[in-house]
């Protein structure tokens, strides 16, 4: 697979990464560990060199999985992980039945504690890319960037990233410690980064990593209003995934499917190729737990869309009004701060 540089920082990775969250967290019960290790190995064999995890996924078990799976490839792949959350002391239940991790904490001391713990779970000497998972309004972003800068100076972190941050916050952080990558949701059915975030990334030389590039599976064309999810699948709580909204949103999938048929590709491949065509410093991280889906997604890197193709897709997509918010109000409140 061809490589891409995430901005001007020097971080070079495969054009498509692998989001590992769903292997342990968020989309039903955790999958079999050995099967997921085999899947991660298959990704490496097929040229994927960029893997995404976070301490909160599980919590902890996803980092442990990724660390064990990628230990044989130390120095040959890049692992991104994240800080910013801690368990809710007032209780609450997370998607896997454990305590809810919905309290933000980006105090410098906490960031450094998370880094030390993540290094051990990932079985590495340095974290390749360390994202602030969500902006903590209680801690000035300059202090957050300064804490990561110290970790970089100590050789414990290579690159600093931010997730779902607002443009002005990114600019302030970047002035203290250059930000190498912004990770935010971006796809044909969620385009909020386009007006401000992508232009800012271009201006400052920051790479962009779209998460949920396939709309949490919806843009694969394998989901409809009759699809049922496991009890602890986060999609059960998302407004965009009510049966009524899924039925309405199939209009977008239908146009993607028709376009894909013309190209001899799959719906998912078109959705990913569209992202890859937006900017040369964009690296989507589709997640999967199935080998055939992994291979399908990787195939998107070879699908070249012309300017005319992109114009056709944009024109068609503009005619479809996506129904339902992507997150609950409480979840959305943590973004773009």
| 3-class secondary structure, 249 | helix
Angstrom distance (rounded) from CA 194 to CA 191: 6
| 3-class secondary structure, 29 | coil
How far, CA to CA in Å, does 98 sit from each of 23, 60, 94, 95? 16, 11, 5, 7
Does any domain span residue 236? no
DSSP state of 262: H
Q: Catalytic residue at 57?
A: yes
Q: How do the pLDDT tens digits run along the chain, 337 residues long? A: 999 999 999 999 999 999 999 999 999 999 999 999 999 999 999 999 999 999 999 999 999 999 999 999 999 999 999 999 998 888 777 776 667 888 999 999 999 999 999 999 999 999 999 999 999 999 999 999 999 999 999 999 999 999 999 999 999 999 999 999 999 999 999 999 999 999 999 999 999 999 999 999 999 999 999 999 999 999 999 999 999 999 999 999 999 999 999 999 999 999 999 999 999 999 999 999 999 999 999 999 999 999 999 999 999 999 999 999 999 999 999 999 9
Tokens 């054009």 correspond to what residue? Answer: 15
Does any domain span residue 317? no
Angstrom distance (rounded) from CA 185 to CA 209: 8
Say what the pTM is. Answer: 0.97
Q: CATH no. for residue 192?
A: 3.20.20.100
- Residue 21's domain comprises 3-217+279-302
Does any domain span residue 63? yes
Does any domain span residue 183? yes
Does any domain span residue 72? yes
Does any domain span residue 314? no
Q: Which residue in 57, 131, 186, 327 is the catalytic one?
A: 57
**What is the biggest distance separating any 2 CA atoms in the chain, rounded to whole angstroms?**
54
Does any domain span residue 60? yes
Does any domain span residue 252? no
**Residues 25 and 96: beta-carbon distance below 8 Å:** yes
Closest by Cα among 155, 216, 151, 211 to 181: 211
How many domains would you assign to the chain? 1
């Amino acid at each position: 697979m061809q490589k891409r540089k995430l901005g001007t920082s020097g971080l070079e990775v495969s054009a498509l990464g692998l989001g590992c969250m769903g292997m342990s967290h968020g989309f039903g019960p955790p999958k079999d560990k050995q099967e997921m290790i085999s899947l991660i190995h298959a990704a490496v064999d097929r040229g994927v060199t960029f893997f995404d995890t976070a301490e909160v996924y599980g919590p902890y078990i996803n980092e442990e999985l990724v660390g064990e799976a990628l230990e044989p490839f130390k120095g040959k792949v890049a692992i991104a992980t994240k800080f910013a959350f801690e368990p809710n002391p007032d209780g609450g239940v997370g998607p896997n039945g454990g305590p809810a991790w919905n309290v933000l904490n980006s105090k410098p001391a906490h960031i450094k504690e998370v880094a030390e713990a993540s290094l051990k779970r990932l079985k590495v000497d340095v974290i390749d890319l360390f994202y602030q998972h969500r902006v903590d309004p209680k801690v000035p972003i300059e202090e957050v960037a300064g804490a990561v800068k110290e970790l970089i100076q100590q050789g414990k972190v290579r690159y600093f990233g931010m997730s779902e941050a607002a443009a002005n916050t990114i600019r302030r952080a970047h002035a203290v410690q250059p930000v190498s990558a912004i990770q935010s949701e971006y796809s044909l059915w969620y385009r909020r980064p386009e007006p401000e975030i992508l232009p800012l990334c271009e201006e400052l030389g920051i790479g962009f990593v779209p998460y949920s590039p396939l709309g949490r599976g919806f843009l694969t064309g394998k989901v409809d209003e009759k699809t049922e999810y496991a009890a602890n699948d986060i999609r059960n709580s998302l407004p965009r995934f009510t049966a009524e909204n899924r039925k309405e949103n199939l209009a977008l999938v239908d146009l993607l499917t028709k376009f894909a048929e013309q190209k001899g590709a799959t719906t998912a491949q078109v959705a990913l190729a569209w992202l890859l065509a937006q900017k040369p410093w964009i690296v989507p991280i589709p997640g999967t737990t199935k080998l055939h889906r992994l291979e399908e997604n990787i195939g998107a890197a070879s699908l070249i869309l012309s300017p005319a193709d992109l114009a056709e897709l944009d024109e068609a997509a503009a005619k479809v009004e996506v129904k339902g918010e992507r997150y609950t109000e409480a979840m959305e409140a943590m973004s773009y701060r």
